[in-house]
């Protein structure tokens, strides 16, 4: 399931390709003009030498080395002219400034936030956010620091989503922070993507990395969970014991092994339930007399 990346109308600048060329060709031309400058000074032609030096400087100054996963946002006297994604030695427009912007995949873990869930219980929650710069122009000019912007907005989205669901629930098909991890992660990713769309950043994945009750109620919630587990286990035990007792009575009567009246059936049911539902091993008592005396 892909994460939608909503479009933002806030910044008017969007990324487009800047003009660039092979840097080795520009380097070769620059060396040629350096040789021409030397020849001009040697032959006492200073005008030719000065012009050749100026041209060589104009050729050397725009040379940049761009590594894989890196880009250069190019500005000409403050005006955005495009982004260079060509890797290796690259020659861009002269008299421009270049800002490096990484488009590699990054990830970070938010701080463990203490928030109140939908039921009002204080919980601690943290998440891992995987993101990548998609539009280098928006990332550079729309916000002051896109990395800090992503971290702050991710924590705000995490706080909002955590308050929308209970920590745990017994209602069938109801979402909870503990039982609906995929659903909560999807909502969290969508919320973060909406908040940081204006920064030109794409969210790849968001996963809850830490979830627990706050320390002040952790012990009480643990006791409640243990009580719920004990009740659920007792229900299963009683259900199975009743089935076994019914099966035993049916077989005894069906095979005519013994004829049981209502009082004997009640005594047998009581004894079997004690044996099957008890926490400790039952100690039998042999009755040598009659049930009625």
pLDDT tens, 249-284?
777 667 766 666 666 667 666 766 666 666 666 666
pLDDT at 203 over 90: yes
Distances (CA, A) of 1 to 4, 63, 91, 185, 186: 9, 42, 40, 12, 9
3-state secondary structure of 261: coil
For residue 222, name the pLDDT band (cuts at 50, 70, 90).
low
Closest CA to 23 of 57, 62, 71: 62
For tokens 């938010």, name the residue: 110
pLDDT at 127 over 90: yes
CATH number at residue 197: 3.30.479.30
**Tell me, what's the pLDDT at 285?**
62
Q: Residues 7-23: what's their mean pLDDT?
A: 75
Q: Which of 40, 66, 100 is the last residue of a domain?
A: 100
**Tell me, what's the pLDDT at 1?**
57
Same domain, 118 and 136: yes
Report which of residues 172 and 290 the model is more confident about.
172
User: Considering its fold, how many domains does the chain have in total?
Assistant: 3
Report which of residues 235 and 186 the model is more confident about.
186
Residue 123, beta-bridge partner list:
115, 213
**27: its two tokens:** 């380097």
Same domain, 190 and 112: yes
- Residue 202 DSSP class: E
Q: Which of 34, 66, 100 is the last residue of a domain?
A: 100
- b/e for 129-153, b at 16 or more Cβ within 10 A? bebebbbbbbbbbbbeebbebbbeb
Q: Contact at 8 Å (CB) between 142 and 169?
A: no
Q: Which of 165, 194, 213 is the last residue of a domain?
A: 213
Q: Which domain holds residue 126?
A: 106-213
Q: Contact at 8 Å (CB) between 56 and 37?
A: yes
- Global pTM reads 0.68
**Tell me, what's the pLDDT at 258?**
65
pLDDT at 5 over 70: no
Same domain, 208 and 223: no
Residue 141 lies in a domain: yes
Distances (CA, A) of 157 to 11, 105, 125, 164: 21, 20, 12, 11
Same domain, 31 and 87: yes
Same domain, 34 and 113: no
Min mean pLDDT across 80-89, 214-223, 246-255 is at 214-223
Main-chain phi, psi angles of 132, to 5 degrees: -155, 140
For residue 70, name the pLDDT band (cuts at 50, 70, 90).
very high
């Amino acid at each position: 399931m892909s994460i939608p990346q909503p479009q933002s109308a806030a910044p008017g600048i969007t990324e487009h390709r800047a003009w660039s060329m092979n840097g080795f060709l520009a380097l070769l031309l620059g060396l040629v003009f350096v040789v021409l400058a030397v020849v001009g000074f040697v032959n006492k032609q200073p005008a030719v030498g000065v012009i050749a030096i100026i041209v060589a400087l104009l050729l050397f100054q725009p040379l940049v080395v761009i590594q894989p996963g890196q880009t250069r946002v190019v500005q000409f006297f403050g005006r955005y002219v495009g982004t260079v994604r060509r890797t290796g030695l690259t020659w861009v427009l002269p008299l421009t400034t270049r800002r490096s912007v990484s488009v590699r995949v990054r990830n970070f873990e938010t701080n463990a936030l203490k928030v109140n869930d939908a039921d009002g219980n204080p919980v601690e929650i943290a998440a891992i956010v995987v993101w990548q710069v998609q539009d280098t122009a928006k990332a550079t000019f729309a916000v002051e620091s896109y990395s800090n912007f992503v971290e702050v907005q991710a924590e705000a989205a995490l706080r909002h989503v955590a308050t929308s669901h209970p920590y745990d629930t017994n209602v069938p098909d109801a979402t909870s922070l503990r039982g609906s991890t995929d659903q909560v992660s999807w909502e969290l990713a969508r919320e973060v993507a909406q908040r940081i769309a204006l920064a030109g950043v794409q969210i790849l994945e968001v996963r809850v990395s830490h979830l627990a009750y706050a320390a002040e109620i952790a012990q009480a919630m643990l006791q409640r969970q243990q009580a719920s587990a004990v009740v659920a286990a007792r229900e299963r035990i009683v259900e199975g014991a009743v089935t076994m007792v019914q099966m035993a009575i049916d077989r005894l009567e069906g095979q005519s092994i013994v004829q049981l009246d209502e009082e004997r059936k009640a005594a047998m049911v009581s004894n079997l339930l004690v044996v099957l539902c008890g926490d400790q091993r039952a100690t039998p008592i042999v009755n040598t007399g009659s049930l009625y005396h």
